[in-house]
Amino acid sequence: MDTVNYATETFLRDELAKATLRITQLEESHARLAQRDMNTAAALNRLKEDLKDWTRSELNEENISMEQAQALAKIGDFTLSQNYDVTMTVDHTFTICVESGEDIDDILSTIEFNVNSYHVELMNEDSNVVDTNYDEVDY
C-alpha cells in the first residue's frame, strides 16, 4: 500500500526557500562563469592582436622570414593581409548616340553612371586612372 504524506505548510515553505536559495546560487555561479569567459576571450583577443601587430612589424623590418610570419599567423589565427579602403577616380570615355532634334546637354544631365566592379572588358575601354587615395583599415 502506498504511503501518503501530507506536507505541512511550514515544510513546503522551507523547501521553497531552499529551492529559491539554490536557484540564486546557480544564477550567481553562472554569472561569474560568463564574466570569466568574457574576460578570457578579451585577453585572448588582446594577445592575438598583439601577436599580429608584432608579426607584421617584424616582417616589415625584415627581422623574421615570411615563412616564420605565416607560421605565427597560423598559430595566432590571423591573416597577414591588410585591408585598404580605396577611392579611385576614373576618367572613362564612351559614345552616346543622340537622335536629331535632341539636346546632348539634356541627355548628359540624366545619365547615371555606376561601376560596381571592374571587368577586363571595362578596363580595355578608353579609360585611365585620374586619382587614387587609400586608407588602411582593420576589419
Beta bridge partners of 133: 87
Is the Cβ–Cβ distance between 104 and 98 less than 8 Å? yes
Is the Cβ–Cβ distance between 76 and 55 less than 8 Å? yes
Shared domain for 127 and 91, answered yes or no, is yes
pLDDT at 97: 79
How many domains does the structure of the chain reveal? 2
Stretches in the chain below the pLDDT threshold 70? 1-6, 90, 92, 94, 113-139
Query: Within a domain: residue 116?
Result: yes
Reported as a single tens digit per residue, the pLDDT across 31-71 is 999 999 999 999 999 999 999 999 999 998 999 999 999 99
Shared domain for 58 and 100, answered yes or no, is no
Which residues lie below 8 Å from residue 65, measured CB to CB, with a gap of 6+?
A: none
